[in-house]
Amino acid sequence: MSETVAQLSKKTGASPVLQVAHLSKKLGGKPILQDCSLTLNRGELKVLIGPSGAGKSTLLQCINCLIPPDEGKILLEGRALNVADRRALCAFRAQVGMIFQDFNLFDHLTAEENVAIALRKVRGMNRQDAQRRAQEELGRVGMSRRAGLYPAQLSGGQKQRVAIARALAMDPKVILLDEPTSALDPELVGEVLAVIKDLARGGMTMLMATHQMDFARALAHEILFMEQGIIIEQGAPDVLLAEGSATRTRDFCKHLLEMGA
């Protein structure tokens, strides 16, 4: 069973950036999320894992309010989000970046324009300043030379790096990543994970759903295992994945390895 925000905060002694308390969601009358709570402290990378249909994507989308939760609270730096307040919701989304499985780029805009558009529309930057910032962030993810290309001219890995640059340009306090490598060919996964590794090592606060267990084992501060809409286990990778540990997380990872063999 997932712990409450108060329990998690007391345990770490840290000042949390993002808190999720007792989040629940039903779709078509079916429970998709059940009483999910988690805390994300500054500079942490936490990883959501679990079988398909476990609720990982729904949890991330509820945190960003792309899907409104039925119950529960979401707090950013201690301030509870009022989902009914459109201005507050827009401000919240500007500070909580979202990276999707399928990139969500505008096909009619170049890579640079995809990064710059939110700076102009949300932050009110003039065109020149937005372009300059877009170029900086594209450089940060190794996409400077492709800034003038359209999504149709980019590989999946390049599209995802543009999406990451777009999120970074907003100076987010947290980035949510919904299986960012799942739509990529195997040879392109590494280039996206390399960018995320750099962000983690640079102190970016992130919550990421993934099946990349080597990545999770090496970089995650904590793994949260979800099943049937419930966070049933959470802990450090070296605890949940320890040799001989009788955890659901280890069983799941062993199954993933067997499928890939």
- What's the distance, CA 176 to chain centroid? 2
What are the structure tokens assigned to 17, written together?
């950036």
Q: Does position 55 have pLDDT exceeding 60, yes or no?
A: yes
Q: What is the pLDDT of residue 3?
A: 45
* Fold classified for 5-260: Rossmann fold (3.40.50)
| Cα distances (Å, whole numbers) of residue 213 to 10, 14, 31, 40 | 28, 26, 27, 20
Q: Does position 43 have pLDDT exceeding 90, yes or no?
A: yes
Q: Amino acid letter at 101?
A: Q
Are 34 and 230 a contacting pair, CB within 8 Å? Answer: yes
- Encode pLDDT of 110-139 as tens digits: 999 999 999 999 899 999 999 999 999 999
**Mean pLDDT value across the chain:** 91
Which helix H or strand E contains 27, and what residues bound it?
strand 16-27
Q: What is the CA radius of gyration of the chain?
A: 18
- Encode pLDDT of 209-239 as tens digits: 998 888 999 999 999 999 999 999 999 999 9
Mean pLDDT (whole number) for 93-108: 94
What are the structure tokens assigned to 149, written together?
């290309």
What is the band of 5 on the pLDDT scale with cuts at 50, 70, 90? very low
What are the structure tokens assigned to 125, written together?
């930057």
Q: Does position 251 have pLDDT exceeding 50, yes or no?
A: yes
Q: Does position 7 have pLDDT exceeding 80, yes or no?
A: no
Q: Does position 91 have pLDDT exceeding 70, yes or no?
A: yes
Q: Residue ranges of the alpha helices (H) in 73-185? A: 86-95, 111-121, 127-140, 156-168
What are the structure tokens assigned to 243, written together?
């040799």
Q: What is the pLDDT of residue 9?
A: 45
What are the structure tokens assigned to 189, written together?
């996964």
Residue with tokens 């995320």: 196
| pTM over the 0.85 mark | yes
Cα–Cα distance between 261 and 248 in angstroms, integer? 20
Residue with tokens 């940060």: 140
> Domain locations in the chain?
5-260
Mean pLDDT (whole number) for 167-187: 94
Q: Does position 255 have pLDDT exceeding 80, yes or no?
A: no
Which letter, b or e, does each residue of 17-34 get, where b requires 16 or more Cβ atoms within 10 Å of its Cβ?
A: bbbbbbbbbeeeeeebbb
